[in-house]
A and B are shown apart, each in its own frame.
Chain A
Amino acid sequence: MKESMDGLIAEWSKRIRAAAAGGHTLHIRGGGSKDFYGRAVTGERLDTGALRGIVSHEPSELVVTVRAGTALAELEAELAAAGQMLAFEPPHFGSGATVGGMVAAGLSGPRRASAGGLRDFVLGVRMLDGRGEVLRFGGEVMKNVAGYDVPRLLAGSLGTLGVLLEVSLKVLPRPFAETTLRFELGESAAIEQLNRWGGQALPLSASAWADGVLSLRLSGAQAAVRAACASLGGEEVGAQEAAAFWLGVREQTLPWFGLDVGGAALWRLSVPSAAPALKLPGEQFIEWGGAQRWLRSAAPVERMRARAAELGGHAVLFRGGDRQSEVFQPLAAPPLAIHRRLKAAFDPAGVFNRGRLYQEF
């Protein structure tokens, strides 16, 4: 098993060096489940699917090391069998999603606001850089400050800095109990209430608001969930219905996400949790205690970005819309200069996923 992987990695390394020398580009692809995300890319495909398998999982160490081409579904099944989970609830967006694609896309699901995001759980990586060299950063332990935190830098870099070969992730036990409550509340009242609850010692694990209804998930010790239900009120949702609902939020398979409002694009606005109502035209779905606001809207790009910036956040053109222009909020000059130099540091010839994150690199 180990031998054959080394051969594969050596072959990829050769392809990377050839691409760098010949001025070609490569498009790293896991399952292709997130092809819709980021800017459209060109380049010869480098499929990671053959690099699969769970390298090690030590439930009592709270860590799992996985090859990048492993199906996310396979990893989650392994963890579930040990009563554990990826606490950031990554969306799959399709049955073929891979672990490498998950880390590169950096997306987190409903539990983000309370448990942390994908970047908070990445402990180590093994990767190929744009010179075709195998590098290892971080490790399998929870606390590690030796060298710069490259594993977290790679989270969400959309494959523009290198090919992930192996990742080590922190995992957590599944909660003992879980309950979902529903409340009828308007947009501003819901945002305010979510922030108030956030300041209390409550076992909150997810929130979602749309069309005047706020859903709140509580997870933790049985007694804690029961006590919180008693003090919060609201209407309790049946366990099965609740599980289907949160899966629909995570995978964006709820009817809200399927709505076609005259071909309007799906925007993601990441803002401070207590930011006031967006006051932008379109349909809205709020998550993460107010910090993530989905908007189906045909409003112009400039208006989205300006409003997001005014609220202290940024806007992403998540699905649809013009994917030839920038889909992520443009960077200010000083961080842009650092981005350029970082890209050149990892991928001097510009081989990987050129243009996926920003037009320029």
Chain B
Amino acid sequence: MLETQSRADDQPVVGEREADFSAIDKVAVIEALARVLPVGALMYEVEDLRPYECDGLSVYRQVPLAVALPASEEQVVAVLRTCRELGVPVVARGAGTGLSGGALPHARGVLLSLARFNRILHVDALARTAVVQPGVRNLAISEAVAAHGLYYAPDPSSQIACTIGGNVAENAGGVHCLKYGLTVHNLLRVRGVSIDGEIVEFGSHALDSPGYDLLALITGSEGMLAVATEVTVKLTPRPQLAQCVLAAFDDVIKAGDAVAAIIAAGIIPAGLEMMDQPATAAVEEFVHAGYPLDAKAILLCESDGTAEEVAEEIARVREVLAASGATEIRVSASEAERLKFWAGRKAAFPAAGRLSPDYYCMDGTIPRKRLGEMLEAIQAMEGRYGLRCINVFHAGDGNLHPLILFDANQPGELERAETFGAEILELSVALGGTITGEHGVGVEKINQMCAQFASAELRQFFRIKAAFDPPGLLNPGKAIPTLNRCAEYGRMRISGGELAHPELPRF
């Protein structure tokens, strides 16, 4: 077996070149799907397709050939088998809150909505696990297990809306993931359906499984390897108490150094967030969190655990912040005050929305020690692109969310915002980081993948995809750029003469 594959190794891998789906016959696809789906589970009239034309990144829009709304695993199997037989692309969709166009429909494909998979199947309070369908909302899990003193730890800001299936597909994070981990650290098992319509179990209710760690590969795979139909998550005991420290700094570099100092002191806070002055000003006007407006940066540092533990940690944090030159330190004295401290941070996106008709959220991650350089570079870019940018930052784990403000109705602004964003992402790579910490590549960052990975690595991604999805029908064209595309993008960037920071090493 291995011998023949070795000879075939010189052949291009499926997906490595743009696939041509133009021959797909819409009528035949709809007829075939109508045979396997009940009435009401298939839509193909344009007005019914509109609500599905984009995800949270609404600058990309596309209506699919059809939308399938299966309610059972058998129906998912049937849809996938049908699409496999007819060679039709399939794009899975949860709540459509993704910020990288991962759930953007394929023009010649079926959009497979998991919205009807909305049941919590089983909660085992003793073992601290919950088995849920993929369309269950992130927050609904924590609500359902609250009576047992448990919760599901990863808490993306979109948690009232986003689904656990979408969280698995994006490896979503939240403000507490420095201490409690990302989605990948809080999953035990994913049950999925392959493009062949076969049911595959990834992981188990034990802490490990025989063979390769396929659960890790599935997590963050942006719906390109299998469609999840069931997920088992780990539940975490709710801490007795949480308290938050708000610290102000007269200099962003000092604030960045304070973050490093907290960690160097052996403290892993439950949350550690930073906002720059424009971001603070934007949210303050909106939610009146009482943030100091003269500060160049503020830090929010949360401690949780038993009352004794929190008191000990907060004392240590205060000491470190004072030594790092904080101009003001406030500790939340009540749960209401703690929530008020957080209200501002959590309102960053809506606040950006009030400041500007449109905003574009970036997601690069960098080593924390490069934060100062990054913020200075962003400031210079604001001048160059003539656009404003406010910065919120998951400082604890180096994940930066610059929000670029623009007005899509002004000719050229969207394009400038996109180039601005691309430059931030490429600088993230050059500083030793990555183009996406938690929002995924989708269609949005596909060109920047060319800056982060070499051809041999991209080809290896296509081989991995083909190991799960040999015909290349699951979410084709997303997340991994074809080599042609990278060659073209490289030419464009260099001929445009705006290769950022040519002195920095490129990977």
Contact = CB atoms under 8 A, between A and B. Distances in A.
Contacts of A141: 365-367, 397-398, 432-434, 437
Contacts of A272: 127, 129, 204-206
Contacts of B470: 341
Contacts of B8: 348
Given A146-B441, A152-B216, A313-B204, A224 B309 contact: yes
Contacts of B207: 112-113, 117, 270, 273, 288, 291-292
Interface stretch (B38-46, B104-112, B177-185, B374-382): B177-185
A58 interface: yes
A84 B199 CA distance: 42
Nearest to B438: A143
Contacts of A332: 201
Interface in B306-336: 306, 308-309, 311-313
Contacts of A340: 1
B138 interface: no
B126 A196 contact: yes
A143 B173 CA distance: 8
Which of B199, B239, B467: most chain A CB closer than 10 A?
B467
B325 to A, nearest CB: 16
Interface residues of B, number: 104
Interface in A298-355: 312-314, 316, 328-332, 334-335, 338-346, 348-350
Nearest to A228: B306
Contact of B206 (A136, A291, A339): A291
A61 interface: yes
Nearest to B455: A133
A173 B312 contact: no
B308 A224 contact: yes
Nearest to A224: B309
Contact of A338 (B173, B209, B214, B397): B214
B27 interface: no
B200 A335 contact: yes
**Count class of interface residues, chain A:** 35 or more
Contacts of B365: 141-144
A314 B170 contact: no
B397 A274 contact: no
A131 interface: yes
Interface string A190-224: 00100110111111000000000000000011111
A227 to B, nearest CB: 5
B6 A349 contact: yes
Contact of A345 (B170, B200, B211, B464): B464
Interface of A: 20, 23, 58-63, 83, 106, 112-113, 116-117, 119-120, 129, 131, 133-137, 139-150, 152-153, 155-157, 161, 172-174, 176, 192, 195-196, 198-203, 220-224, 226-228, 270-274, 288, 291-292, 312-314, 316, 328-332, 334-335, 338-346, 348-350, 357-358, 361
Interface of B: 1-3, 5-6, 8-9, 124-129, 148-150, 170-171, 173, 177-178, 181-182, 184-185, 194, 198-202, 204-214, 216-217, 219-221, 225, 237-240, 260-261, 263-264, 266-268, 305-306, 308-309, 311-313, 365-369, 394, 397-399, 432-441, 445, 449, 452-454, 456-457, 460-461, 463-468, 470, 479-480, 507
